[in-house]
């Protein structure tokens, strides 16, 4: 039976992590699949919090491009712009594999995250972004995937937006929705906005919306 330990005092937690990649002994890295994404099997051991080393550990890691998400917000009209498209990873979703999301895309070599945000907004929503506000950079699932996501709020003029967009060569079929913030928040509360980018971005916007609107 594992020993029960008292929780650490939050004030004692360092701002910098106690370990780095130098505290991992990587014995083998094996490619299991190479397609648009890469799947690797890692054989490793790592240092332990109470000293010493772990036993040999085997983990599979899904290697992806880093990604960018953009919540498009019209300050003047208090509306948000969302996109809807089929998602293969949600094929077994009990409701639908078509998901409402913020604009998003992958970072290609040589691109900055801000460039990706503006490019994807035009490709997916037919819209130009004014001010870009960077929110967070985070790992959606670091236990199994190396992807890092940078999330923005992009200020836009939502008048005239809508229709179906996307690149034919990427098999994109993306429908654009312009919604009052209050309606979008209802959808979030009802579980319709059920992906990490939406949840994080909308909770940020809920806290900052009044100050953004006061800047008009």
- Residue 38, strand partner residues: 34, 63
Residue 3 marked as a ligand binder: no
Residue 124 marked as a ligand binder: yes
Residue 170 is among the residues annotated as catalytic for this protein: yes
Positive or negative CA dihedral for 74, 79, 85, 90?
positive
Residue 101 marked as a ligand binder: no
Residue 120 marked as a ligand binder: yes
Active-site option among 3, 10, 50, 170: 170
Distance CA 197, CA 136 (A): 10
Instruction: Give CB contacts under 8 A, 24+ apart, made by 162-166.
Output: 163/126, 165/83, 165/123, 165/124, 165/125, 165/126, 166/85, 166/123, 166/124
Tell me the helices (H) and strands (E) count for the chain, helix number first: 3, 11
Catalytic residues: 170
Give the annotated binding-site residues.
104, 120, 124, 172
Give the annotated binding-site residues for Mg(2+).
104, 120, 124, 172
């Amino acid at each position: 039976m594992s020993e029960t330990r008292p929780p650490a005092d939050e004030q004692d937690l360092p701002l910098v992590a106690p370990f780095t990649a130098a505290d991992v002994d990587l014995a083998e890295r094996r490619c299991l699949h190479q397609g648009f994404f890469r799947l690797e099997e890692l054989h490793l051991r790592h240092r332990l919090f109470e000293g010493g080393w772990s036993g040999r550990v085997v983990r599979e890691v899904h290697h992806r491009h880093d990604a960018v998400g953009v919540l498009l917000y019209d300050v003047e009209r208090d509306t948000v712009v969302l996109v809807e498209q089929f998602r293969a990873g949600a094929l077994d979703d009990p409701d639908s594999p078509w998901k409402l999301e913020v604009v998003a895309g992958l970072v290609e070599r040589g691109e900055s995250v801000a460039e990706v945000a503006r490019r994807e907004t035009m490709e997916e929503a037919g819209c130009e972004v004014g001010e870009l506000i960077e929110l967070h950079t985070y790992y959606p699932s670091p236990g199994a995937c190396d992807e890092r996501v940078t999330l923005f709020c992009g200020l836009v003029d939502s008048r005239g937006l809508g229709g179906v967009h996307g690149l034919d060569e990427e098999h994109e079929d993306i429908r654009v929705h312009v919604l009052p913030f209050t309606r979008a928040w209802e959808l979030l509360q009802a579980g319709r906005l059920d992906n990490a980018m939406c949840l994080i971005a909308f909770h940020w916007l809920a806290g900052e919306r009044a100050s953004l609107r006061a800047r008009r």
